[in-house]
Amino acid sequence: MSGTPPRAAEGGLALSEPQLVAWGERLGRIATPPLVVALSGDLGAGKTTLVQAICRGYGVVDTVTSPTFALVHEYAGARSKVYHLDLYRLDAPSELTNLGWDEIVTDRALVIVEWPERAGAALPADHVPVTLEHVPADPARRLLWAGGHVGAQSFGGDDS
């Protein structure tokens, strides 16, 4: 189909920003701790926007910002703590120890990790992978891929 974004036919959802936000809020509402969400995507793909939506759906009332320099932000959610980690600045998985990684991923919490590939094998095997990609022909949309027990097919791509 000529209007289909690349790879969309393979199971990704092509979403506008409002649809991405609605998807994230729905994920936040159904998330049950302990849960680690591994959020991958290029710079500017919408990862922080998605994290903010997930946190809002999870009941976080504080302003959610990117932990690019602090590396870890902790928020109070309705059902548990929420840890938001940005591993972009890590050079090696061995640096996770300085962040309290083991305590964070074993806590009964919602853990959202941006740039999870920097964690290597330290990422829990039961994490939920979510990937955002730019849609080259449509800069206003993102292609979202989700796996694990919370998949893209669990949600519609619309705002309903």
Helix (H, G, I), strand (E, B) or coil at 156: coil
pLDDT > 90 in the chain, percent: 62
Backbone angles phi, psi at 44, to 5 degrees: 80, 10
pTM: 0.83
Quick check: 10 pLDDT over 80? no
Check residues 84 and 43 and name the one with the higher pLDDT.
Answer: 84
Taking phi over 0 as left and psi of -120 to 50 as alpha, with beta for the rest, 44 belongs to: left
Instruction: Give the per-residue pLDDT at 11.
Output: 58
Q: What would the pLDDT profile of 14-25 be if each residue is shown by its tens digit? A: 899 999 999 999
Tell me the average pLDDT across 62-77.
Answer: 86
CB-CB neighbours of 83 under 10 Å: 24
Contact, 74 vs 107, CB < 8 A? no
Q: What would the pLDDT profile of 84-140 be if each residue is shown by its tens digit? A: 999 998 989 999 998 999 999 999 999 999 999 999 999 999 999 999 998 888 888
Nearest Cα to Cα of residue 116 among 147, 79, 80, 140: 147
Instruction: Give the per-residue pLDDT at 5.
Output: 37
Contact, 106 vs 76, CB < 8 A? no
Tokens read off for 67: 């932990």
Tokens read off for 44: 């500017």
| Gyration radius of the chain's alpha carbons | 15
Contact, 88 vs 114, CB < 8 A? yes
β-sheet bridge partners, residue 128: 37
Quick check: 156 pLDDT over 70? no
Q: What is the DSSP string of 59-112?
A: T--SPP---TTTSEEEEE-SSSEEEEEE-TT-SSGGGGGGGTHHHHHHSSSEEE
Check residues 91 and 55 and name the one with the higher pLDDT.
Answer: 55
